[in-house]
Structure 1
Amino acid sequence: MAKVTTRLTDKEIKSAKAADKEYNLFDGGGLRLRVKPNGAKHWLLNYYRPNSKKRANLSLGKYPDLSLALARKLAQEARELLAQDIDPQEDKKRKQQEHKIIHQHTLLNIAKEWFEIKQGDITPDYAIDIWRSLELHIFPNLSNTPIKDITAPLIIEQLKPIEAKGSLETVKRLAQRLNEIMDFATNCGLVAANPLTGIKAAFKKPKKENMASLKPNELPELISAIANASIKRTTRCLIEWQLHTMTRPSEAAGTRWDEIDLEAKIWTIPPARMKKRREHRIPLTEQAIALLETMMPISQNREFVFPADRDPQKPCNSQTANMALKRMGFAGRLVSHGLRSLASTTLNEQGFEADLVEAALAHVDDNQVRSAYNRTDYLERRLPMMVWWSGHIEAAALGSLSVTGTKQLKVI
């Protein structure tokens, strides 16, 4: 005859005291209350696993948080699963994973994990640009969307209004960034495959526009405009510094005194400040050093060569030169980044080696194999080219009040 278990009562449970060893109070059907030496009471369901037929305990919860009535209800639900050969522990894990996917593996949270890795390979300014674009165009509507629910139609619907406004470059960049996030999610096992692959085919292609720049024969006009413009000395020196060194706007604006070796006449920009995260060395010509000498009374006791006007503890904004060029009347004709194009075009027309010009611009070879083996920056061979370029700028500045146009004239 089968043993009959007397069902537990609330009174019996409440009066159960702790002992030296843990013990169980049985309610029948595998449900039991385990009383631990510290007095804690836990509900368990003892059952046979459907696959292995081995005994196992399913934790249901802690008493009194989980009442007797509710413990019996949960135990019965577990027995119903067992009747279908479903292990309640495996079912519990599955539900917890589903909850995690919905509430933790959202687009915003996965994007944060992706961005944490991404920003280690890019410049701080570019990292800010990436995250702002997602905050502006993607997160307002999709931040809480589970990553598994991100589909091509959903993203296309989100980006179509941006395309309708004509912001095709923004659409292109957002599609690229979302693809990287979904590739990351795929590699982490959160989705089976990236559903956004090829999504760019759903949008118009932006027309490739080169940075606005002047022709080589327009250099004297530029130098004259810089010399006669009503701008601060720091801004004038910054524009000419960028022109002589052929650097990007952010690299020039963020120049630090500790990056400059006046004795060796070399400016070394650390990887963290470079677009391609590679150290970039620039041989300094006499004209470039003259610019530094002009800035010494202003900023030599500070961290940055070109300090911001409002907060000298910070560098000039990377857009300072650009805005100054607009005020000079070059809007639509020249942007500060276009100074690099002006230098590149001039040097290539003069027959300088393409590798030297590309090295001066800190461009990385598109051929990954060649780039991996060719780690030289041609520093010594670039020096004559940089000397010629600075001399060419100086020649274009004759008769003006350019900082480097003549050493006898002082900047006002």
Structure 2
Amino acid sequence: MAKVTTRLTDKEIKSAKPRDKEYYLFDGGGLRLRVKPNCSKHWLFNYYRPNSKKRANLTLGKYPDLSLAIARKQAQEAKELIVQDIDPQEDKKRKQQEHKAVYQHTFFNVSKEWFDIKQESVTPDYAVDIWRSLELHIFPYLSTIPVKDITAPLAIKLLKPIEAKGSLETVKRLTQRLNEIMDFATNYGLVNANPLTGIKAAFKKPKKENMASLKPDELPELINAIANASIKRTTRCLIEWQLHTMTRPSEAAGTRWDEIDLEAKIWTIPPARMKKGREHRIPLTSQTIALLEIMKPISKQREFVFTSDRNPLKPCNSQTANMALKRMGFAGRLVSHGLRSLASTTLNEQGFEADLIEAALAHIDGNQVRSAYNRTDYLERRIPMMIWWSGHIEEAAQGSLSVTGTKQLKVI
């Protein structure tokens, strides 16, 4: 005769005391309550797996959070699944995964995980640019959508209005970033494959344009404009600093006092601030040291050389020099990044070695094999070239005073 299990009561469950070892209270039909020595009580449903016919326990929940009545209801639901040859444990896992896909693995959450890794390999300014572009163009429309529901038509529809405005570079960058995020989702098993591969083919390609820059013989015009412009001294020093050092706008604007070694006459920009993530050393000339001397009374007590007007604890914006050049009348003719092209063109015309110029610009050799073996930055050999370049800038002043206070000698 089959053993008959007496059904549990709430009173019996509440009065169950812990023992040295865990034990069970049985309600019948596979439902049982596990009582642990630490006083906790958990509902379990014991059953035979439909496929293997092996015994297994399905954890239902903790008592009293899960009442006796609800535990019985969940046990009954599990039995109904077994009748359909569905394993209750596998069904529970499936539902948990579906819940994660909807509430945890949203496009925003996955993007945040991707960005936490991505920002370690790019400069802080570039990291800010990446996240802002997503906040502006992507998150308002895709943030709550599960990554598994992201499709190529959905992404293309989102980016088409941006293309229609003529912002082709923005579309290009966004397609790249969307693909990186979905590649990340694929690698972590959140989607089977990246559905956005190749979506760039759905958009017009932006025409490659060089940064607006002046010709070498227009340098005197630039120096004269800087000397006579109605701009703040910090901004004027920043533009000349960037011109002399041939650095990128963000690298120049973010110059820190602790990066400067006046005794060795070297400015060392750490990898975290460089576009290619490689330390960059720049020989300081008498003119660049003079610029630092001018900035000392303004910012030496601060972290950054070129401090922001609004918040002296922060550096100038990387666009400060660019906006000043526009106000000086160079809109369409010169952007601050173009100061590097001006320097490069001039130095090449003067016959300086290409390797020295490329090293001064912190360019990495496109030949990966050569780049791997050629680790030198030609620092010592760059010193005469940087001295010549600073002297050339001064001579281009045509009688105007540069911010360092040195009159021009002659026009080259």
TM range (shorter): over 0.9
Q: CA separation in 2, counterparts of 1:273 and 1:24?
A: 62
Q: CA separation in 1, counterparts of 2:144 and 2:38?
A: 42
Q: CA separation in 2, counterparts of 1:19 and 1:375?
A: 69
What is residue 87 of structure 2 aligned with on the other side? 87
Distance 1:407 1:302, change over 3 A: farther
Does 2:148 correspond to 1:130?
A: no
Distance 1:408 1:383, change over 3 A: closer
Q: CA separation in 1, counterparts of 2:150 and 2:372?
A: 36
Bigger mean CA offset, 31-40 vs 318-327: 31-40
What is residue 276 of structure 1 aligned with on the other side? 276
**Letter of the 1:321 counterpart:** A
Please give the secondary structure, in 2, of the residue aligned with 1:197: coil
Q: CA separation in 1, counterparts of 2:259 and 2:98?
A: 52
Does 2:234 correspond to 1:221?
A: no
Spell out the pairing of 1:137-156 with structure 2 (5 A cutoff): 137-156=137-156
Structure 1: which 5+ residue stretches go unaligned? Answer: none
- Identity of counterpart residues, as a percentage? 86
Q: 1:49 Cα deviation (Å)? A: 2.2
What is residue 248 of structure 2 aligned with on the other side? 248
Tell whether the 8 Å contact from 1:395 to 1:405 is kept in structure 2 after alignment.
Answer: no
What is residue 293 of structure 1 aligned with on the other side? 293
Distance 1:277 1:40, change over 3 A: closer
Tell whether the 8 Å contact from 1:347 to 1:357 is kept in structure 2 after alignment.
Answer: yes
Bigger mean CA offset, 80-89 vs 247-256: 80-89
Please give the secondary structure, in 2, of the residue aligned with 1:206: coil
What is residue 397 of structure 2 aligned with on the other side? 397
Bigger mean CA offset, 88-97 vs 173-182: 88-97
Q: 1:322 Cα deviation (Å)? A: 1.2
Bigger mean CA offset, 141-150 vs 16-25: 16-25
Distance 1:311 1:67, change over 3 A: closer
**Letter of the 2:109 counterpart:** N
Does 2:77 correspond to 1:77?
A: yes
Count of aligned pairs: 408
What is residue 211 of structure 1 aligned with on the other side? 211
Please give the secondary structure, in 1, of the residue aligned with 2:355: helix
What is residue 167 of structure 1 aligned with on the other side? 167
What is residue 18 of structure 1 aligned with on the other side? 17
What is the Cα-based RMSD across aligned positions, in Å? 2.1
Q: CA separation in 2, counterparts of 1:336 and 1:12?
A: 80
Spell out the pairing of 1:354-365 with structure 2 (5 A cutoff): 354-365=354-365
Tell whether the 8 Å contact from 1:394 to 1:404 is kept in structure 2 after alignment.
Answer: no
What is residue 197 of structure 2 aligned with on the other side? 197
Distance 1:67 1:268, change over 3 A: closer
Q: CA separation in 1, counterparts of 2:278 and 2:325?
A: 29
Q: CA separation in 2, counterparts of 1:28 and 1:204?
A: 68
CA displacement, residues 331-367 of structure 1 (integer Å, 9 cap, x when unaligned): 1111111101111111122222221111111111222
What is residue 384 of structure 2 aligned with on the other side? 384
Tell whether the 8 Å contact from 1:398 to 1:405 is kept in structure 2 after alignment.
Answer: no
Distance 1:244 1:207, change over 3 A: same
CA displacement, residues 24-59 of structure 1 (integer Å, 9 cap, x when unaligned): 333322222334455544322211223433322222
Tell whether the 8 Å contact from 1:245 to 1:282 is kept in structure 2 after alignment.
Answer: yes
Structure 2: which 5+ residue stretches go unaligned? Answer: none
What is residue 47 of structure 1 aligned with on the other side? 47
**Letter of the 1:328 counterpart:** M
Tell whether the 8 Å contact from 1:394 to 1:405 is kept in structure 2 after alignment.
Answer: no
Bigger mean CA offset, 4-13 vs 218-227: 4-13
Q: 1:389 Cα deviation (Å)? A: 1.4
Q: CA separation in 1, counterparts of 2:211 and 2:186?
A: 36
What is residue 338 of structure 2 aligned with on the other side? 338
Q: CA separation in 1, counterparts of 2:245 and 2:376?
A: 18
CA displacement, residues 190-216 of structure 1 (integer Å, 9 cap, x when unaligned): 111111111100111111121111111
Does 2:317 correspond to 1:317?
A: yes
**Letter of the 2:174 counterpart:** L
Q: CA separation in 2, counterparts of 1:81 and 1:46?
A: 14
Distance 1:287 1:61, change over 3 A: closer
Please give the secondary structure, in 1, of the residue aligned with 2:44: strand
Distance 1:126 1:25, change over 3 A: same
Q: 1:317 Cα deviation (Å)? A: 2.0
Tell whether the 8 Å contact from 1:179 to 1:197 is kept in structure 2 after alignment.
Answer: yes
Q: 1:308 Cα deviation (Å)? A: 2.5
Tell whether the 8 Å contact from 2:401 to 2:408 is kept in structure 1 after alignment.
Answer: no
Q: CA separation in 2, counterparts of 1:333 and 1:298?
A: 31
Tell whether the 8 Å contact from 1:18 to 1:36 is kept in structure 2 after alignment.
Answer: no
Q: CA separation in 2, counterparts of 1:100 and 1:150?
A: 15
Q: 1:9 Cα deviation (Å)? A: 4.6
**Letter of the 1:233 counterpart:** R
Q: CA separation in 2, counterparts of 1:24 and 1:292?
A: 78
Distance 1:305 1:32, change over 3 A: closer
Distance 1:264 1:71, change over 3 A: closer
Tell whether the 8 Å contact from 1:168 to 1:204 is kept in structure 2 after alignment.
Answer: yes
Distance 1:89 1:356, change over 3 A: same
Tell whether the 8 Å contact from 2:148 to 2:190 is kept in structure 1 after alignment.
Answer: yes
Q: CA separation in 1, counterparts of 2:372 and 2:202?
A: 35
Tell whether the 8 Å contact from 1:397 to 1:405 is kept in structure 2 after alignment.
Answer: no
**Letter of the 1:18 counterpart:** K
Q: CA separation in 2, counterparts of 1:314 and 1:40?
A: 54
**Letter of the 2:258 counterpart:** D
Please give the secondary structure, in 1, of the residue aligned with 2:306: coil
